Every structure is written in C-alpha cells, then in structure tokens.
Amino acid sequence: MAITNDLYGQFQRNRIHIATEQNEAEQVINNNQAFNKNNAHQQYQNNMVKTASPQELTLMLYNGLIKFLNLAKLGIEEKSIEKANNNINRSQDIIVEFMSTLDMNYEVSAGLMSLYDYMYTRLVEANLKKDKAILEEMLMFAEQLRDTWVQAMKLAKHQDVNK
C-alpha cells in the first residue's frame, strides 16, 4: 500500500509539473502573440503618421486629444490618479504641439493661440484638482475644434477639385 501511495504521489507531482510547464509555455506563446499584435499595430500607426498630410496629422492630433481627455475622465471616475495624470499630460502635450506649430501669419491664429492657452491652463487646473467637469469642458472645445477642422479639410478638398 505504501508503494502504491508513493507511486500515486509521484504521479501527481509529475502531473502538476507537466501542467505547470504547459501553462508556462501557453503564457509565453500568448505573450509573444500579444507582443507581435502590438508591434504590428505600432508599425501601422507609424506608417500612418509618416504618410499623412499635414492636414491629416492635425486631425490625428485632435482625435488623440479627444481620446486622452476621455481616458483622463475615466481615470478620475475610476479614482486612478496615475491614469488621470498621464492622460491629462498627454492632452497638454498635444495642446503645446498646436501652440508651437501655429502659423501666426493668419488672422485666426491669434484667436486659436488664446483658446489653446486657455485649454492648457484649464488642463493644469483639472490635473491639480482631478476635476472631471473641467475635462468635460475641454472635451467640448476639442470636439468643436476637430469638427471645424474636418469641415475645413472638406472645403479645401472641394476647392482643389474645382480648380
């Protein structure tokens, strides 16, 4: 009986060892698949940015701003200070990019600079206070700016076609 119990115990240990190795192998395979999928997605995004026109890049930035503002709101709702902070900072980075690339030779640029400055200041305040209402206000501005940009792109394209 002792031999049988000993053999059974050894069998169970081997079974657990094999199952553990299989789980580890599956985990490595899953991690590699996730890495390859993320890597492919990253390459696709890099190609999109490299081949986009300046107008399309601006649209991508507006869409990114909206995405990060929504993620920051979610971070506040989830009480994740880090998530809120990181996404507000990314939103601020986009606003800074808009400000630094603004061509001040156009009359509309002064108004946009004032709006971007206001948005940046409010984002700093939202980050300090973790204030969802401020983010909703900034989201409204970002969506209006994006929608206006889309309309401007359509008008420009229509004018190019009619030339």
Same domain, 76 and 137: yes
User: Regarding predicted confidence, which is higher, 50 or 97?
Assistant: 97
Same domain, 75 and 131: yes
CA neighbours closer than 13 Å in the CB half-sphere of residue 34: 6
* Average pLDDT over all residues of the chain: 84
Same domain, 31 and 79: no
Does residue 110 surpass a pLDDT of 50?
A: yes
Q: Report the pLDDT value the prediction gives residue 98, as an integer from 0 to 100.
A: 97
Q: In the chain, how many domains are there? A: 2
Same domain, 57 and 38: no
Same domain, 77 and 118: yes
Same domain, 140 and 106: yes
Same domain, 36 and 69: no
Tell me the C-alpha distance between 96 and 113, whole Å.
10
Same domain, 57 and 40: no
Q: Residues 12-35: pLDDT tens digits?
A: 555 554 555 566 656 766 776 766
Domain boundary among 51, 67, 86: 51
pLDDT band at 47 (very low <50, low <70, confident <90, very high): low
Same domain, 86 and 141: yes
Structural domain containing residue 1:
1-51
The radius of gyration computed from the CA coordinates of the chain, to the nearest angstrom, equals 26
Same domain, 22 and 57: no
Q: Report the pLDDT value the prediction gives residue 35, as an integer from 0 to 100.
A: 67
pLDDT band at 57 (very low <50, low <70, confident <90, very high): very high
Average pLDDT over residues 35-42: 67
Angle among Cα 107, 117, 122 to the nearest 5 degrees reads 145
Does residue 95 surpass a pLDDT of 60?
A: yes
Q: Residues 61-82: pLDDT tens digits?
A: 999 999 999 999 999 999 999 9
Same domain, 57 and 10: no
Domain boundary among 18, 33, 51: 51
> Token pair of 83, please?
């998530």
pTM > 0.95: yes or no: no
Same domain, 41 and 70: no
Question: What CATH number does residue 95 fall under?
Answer: 1.20.120.340
* Torsion from C-alpha of 104, 108, 111, 115, nearest 10 degrees: -90
